[in-house]
Structure 1
Amino acid sequence: MVVGCLGDMVFEVSEETIETIDNVTWSGSARYSAHQRHNMNALTEFTGIDPDKMSFTMVLSAELGVDIIPEIVKLWNIERSGKAVPLVIGERPYGKYRWNLLRHSAKYTRHDKRGNPTEAEVSVELQEYITR
């Protein structure tokens, strides 16, 4: 069963594969300016909203049916292309439009006898991409 996606990277749970996300954090912020006044309190002014950010982790494991390197390459391709991609978790699309992948990191935690990674902890950080 598909439980979500980031562009063409599919998060799924089936008899053959388990590839899901964990530790999801969704954050946003507003911008304010302070206008200094002589011998008076500064005035604050709301100047806009920063793009939302989202981060999550994944454990990619060959024992759970995931081909690790191609999945990390998918993230690398999204990041390096600058392409804005949709993010869906469960039945819900997140954000107003799409997301840019700002950074990822992959920590190989297990290897086979030939040195190929068999398990990796992957962290992803996204920033909301909004059209005009």
Structure 2
Amino acid sequence: MWKRRAAHDREPECFHWRIVMSFLSNVIRARLQTAAQRMEQNTISILRGKLSSWGLSIPIGCLGPVVFTVSSSEVRTFSDWKREAKGRYATHNVMGGRPVLEFLGTDLQTITFTMRLSVFLGVNPANEAAKLRQLCEDGTSMPLVIGNEPVGENNWIVESIGEETQEWDNNGNILTSTLQVTLKEYVGDMIVLGGDYDLAMEGDEES
């Protein structure tokens, strides 16, 4: 004859099922969000393609005032995108043993890319290069956005820009050029308290 289980004996089983149901709910919610995101991305991709075929300039991102666009009438975009992130380590020599590494933190990230600019693609190469060169010389920090999403948690500065001209017209105007752009993550100005700036810099050099 089966004995009726007490209420407190059923609590672990109920608790187990609550965990299972919560897990399943989270999985279903995550799957639905993923499906919705894919649908949104596909829709945006289709719209971009349609508008571009009609000659409308569609922004794919921006670096501050520099807007990256692609259409049948204007191309201002990049290629050879490379992003580098690395850590900072101090090396401590050990007598009779291998050096020991100490993790100091993350280093500033860098991004490099190439821009091919041409009057035959609807842009003025000289003006575009001058705009990026001015941002570099002014030390302007600005957000970098690609595909409606910010790249990284901080702003970026144009660390360097190299320009190579391929074609000129008979009046000395640039027809086609290639820019090599290097961006560096910009965290902000150093705040030193107590007048220990020299000491802080010495410690940084030793590391």
**What range describes the TM-score normalised by the shorter chain of this pair?**
over 0.9
Match in the other structure for 1:63: 120
Q: Deviations over 1:50-99 (max 9, x none)?
A: 10000000100000100111111110111011111111122221121110
Match in the other structure for 2:95: 38
Q: Deviations over 1:23-50 (max 9, x none)?
A: 0000011111121122233221101111
Q: Report % sequence identity.
A: 33
Question: How many equivalent residue pairs?
Answer: 132
Match in the other structure for 1:115: 172
Measure the CA separation in 1 of the matches of 2:126 and 2:186: 27
Matched to 1:99, the amino acid is W
Match in the other structure for 1:19: 76
Listed as ranges, the gaps of 5+ residues in structure 2 are 1-57, 190-207
Quote the offset at 1:20 in angstroms: 0.8
Higher strand share: 1
Aligned ranges 1:89-100 → 2 under 5 Å: 89-100=146-157
Q: Residue 140 of structure 2: SS of its match in structure 1? A: coil
Matching of residue 9 in structure 1 with residue 63 in structure 2: no
Larger Rg: 2
Measure the CA separation in 1 of the matches of 2:163 and 2:91: 40
Measure the CA separation in 1 of the matches of 2:97 and 2:127: 60
Q: Residue 129 of structure 2: SS of its match in structure 1? A: helix
Structure with higher RCO (Cα < 8 A, 6+ apart)? 1
Moved more, 49-58 or 9-18: 9-18
Match in the other structure for 2:181: 124
Measure the CA separation in 1 of the matches of 2:117 and 2:101: 46
Measure the CA separation in 1 of the matches of 2:132 and 2:187: 20
Q: Residue 80 of structure 2: SS of its match in structure 1? A: strand
TM-score by length of 1: 0.93
TM-score by length of 2: 0.61
Listed as ranges, the gaps of 5+ residues in structure 1 are none
RMSD: 1.3
Match in the other structure for 2:86: 29
Moved more, 92-101 or 20-29: 92-101
Measure the CA separation in 2 of the matches of 1:106 and 1:40: 49
Match in the other structure for 2:39: none
